[in-house]
């Protein structure tokens, strides 16, 4: 059983809101390995949308992803690719106050 840990930076302008959180959970659930996400001392289940939402990971923040299981390497590669791609939201811009 493999254990893999890697750091990733949230790069999409809107950070980890509902849609990217759901995308992360969707990808994580394709694998048998357990997935944990760490941020600022908090540890959540990367296969739980509620857990991912509690992280409140803003653009520029750093998270640590931990995968453990027989397909941990594949899970990690898929999750890192998703995060690095900005959850396919790089075209979105934060709204200014009063907009």
Active-site pick, 17, 38, 88, 91: 17
Query: 3-state SS of the chain?
Result: CEEEEEEEECCCCCCCCHHHHHHHHHHHCCCCCEEEEEECCEEEECCCHHHHHHCCCCCCCEEEEEEEECCHHHHHHHHHHHHHCHHHCCCCCCCCCCC
Our answer to whether residue 17 is catalytic in this structure is yes
Q: Rounded to whole angstroms, how far apart are CA atoms 42 and 37?
A: 8
Residues catalogued as catalytic: 17
């Amino acid at each position: 059983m493999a254990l893999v840990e890697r750091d990733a930076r949230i790069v999409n302008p809107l950070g980890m809101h509902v849609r990217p959180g759901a995308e992360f959970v969707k990808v994580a659930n394709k694998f048998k390995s357990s997935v944990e996400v760490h941020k600022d001392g908090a540890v959540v289940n990367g296969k739980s949308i509620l857990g991912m939402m509690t992280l409140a990971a803003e653009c520029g923040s750093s998270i640590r992803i931990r995968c453990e299981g027989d397909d941990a390497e594949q899970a990690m590669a898929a999750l890192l690719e998703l995060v690095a791609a900005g959850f396919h939201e790089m075209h979105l811009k934060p709204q200014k106050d009063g907009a």
